[in-house]
Amino acid sequence: MYSPPQFDPHYEVAAYALGILDPADSEAFEAHLVDCMECQAELLELHEVPAALDLIKGGPVDAVAAAPQPRRGGEAAVASLLDRVAKRRRRRTRTLWLAVAAAVVVTAVTPVAVRQFWPEPGGQTVAQTFRAASRNVQASISLTPKEWGTEVSFELTGVKGPLQCTLVAVSTSGETETVASWKVNAGEADEPLRITGATSFEKSAIKRFEFRTNNGPDLLEVPAS
């Protein structure tokens, strides 16, 4: 059974230059031309062939006159085509780089978000856990020394709302700084509350932390040493 030959753009440069490809094959060839420097160079070499053929005495026969008309315009037309090809290549390259950049951003940001919520153990991090005697409140505080002070990450469980809460750092000299503040809705949260805050106090200068409420007694005091 006869099977028609498959379209191969590498062998269609001359046909494209003569303008005898059908619209579908022409579009496929132009898409191929975007990334094929060899075919671009060959097309530039062939751009004068249609004009040369028209100069042959006797002109084209009537049967050929019904064929699709050759592409005209000489070198300027080819240059315009290659300019469109170059623009298409730049758009494709820009799209590829945007996709790669997006992937890199996702890869880079995800671990940062996790660390911001609850730092990984190890290094200079110190964690202590205490339980309030009357409210079944438990807090775990992790301290990480920084050049600018101390990063404070904590986990709090057993708190019933509604409450407006604040974590305060108290220094060995009696100074205080607010580390973080948050709201507890009515009822008791199903999941532990995890927050990362900071203080300008150096770790060695912190005496304790106080979990305070704006409308009730303090929840818990946590020594820092």
Q: Which pLDDT belongs to residue 87?
A: 59
Q: Which amino acid is at 56?
A: I
- Residue ending a domain, choose from 115, 138, 165: 115
- Residue ending a domain, choose from 64, 92, 115: 115
Same domain, 111 and 134: no
Mean pLDDT of the chain: 69
Same domain, 135 and 78: no
- Residue ending a domain, choose from 115, 147, 176: 115
Q: Which amino acid is at 117?
A: F
Domain membership flag for residue 73: yes
Domain membership flag for residue 1: no
User: Prior bond to 162 cis, omega within 30?
Assistant: yes
Segments forming the whole domain that contains residue 111: 9-115
If one counts the domains in the chain, the total is 2
Q: Which pLDDT belongs to residue 88?
A: 56
Tens of each residue's pLDDT in the chain, 225 residues: 444 455 566 667 777 766 777 778 777 877 777 777 777 777 777 655 555 555 554 444 443 444 444 444 445 555 666 666 555 555 555 554 444 444 444 434 333 333 333 444 444 444 555 555 556 788 888 898 999 999 999 988 888 888 899 999 999 999 999 999 998 888 766 678 899 999 999 989 999 999 999 877 888 888 887
User: How open is the CA angle 175-180-182, to the nearest 5 degrees?
Assistant: 135
**Residue 127 in contact with residue 142, Cβ under 8 Å?**
yes
Q: Which pLDDT belongs to residue 191?
A: 78
Same domain, 132 and 202: yes
Domain membership flag for residue 120: no
- Strand pairing class (138-146; 149-157): antiparallel
Pairwise CA distance, residues 202 & 173, whole Å: 12
**Residue 69 in contact with residue 77, Cβ under 8 Å?**
no
Q: Which pLDDT belongs to residue 72?
A: 43
User: How open is the CA angle 178-179-181, to the nearest 5 degrees?
Assistant: 80
Lookup: tokens for 90: 């730049």
Kindly give, in sequence order, each residue whose CB lies less than 8 Å from that of residue 22, ignoring residues fewer than 6 positions away.
Answer: 68
Same domain, 161 and 83: no
Domain membership flag for residue 3: no
Domain membership flag for residue 2: no
Pairwise CA distance, residues 203 & 88, whole Å: 58
Same domain, 78 and 139: no
Pairwise CA distance, residues 132 & 147, whole Å: 32
DSSP-derived letter for residue 204 is G
**What digits encode the pLDDT tens for the residues 67-88?**
444 444 445 555 666 666 555 5
Pairwise CA distance, residues 139 & 222, whole Å: 8
Which pTM was predicted?
0.44
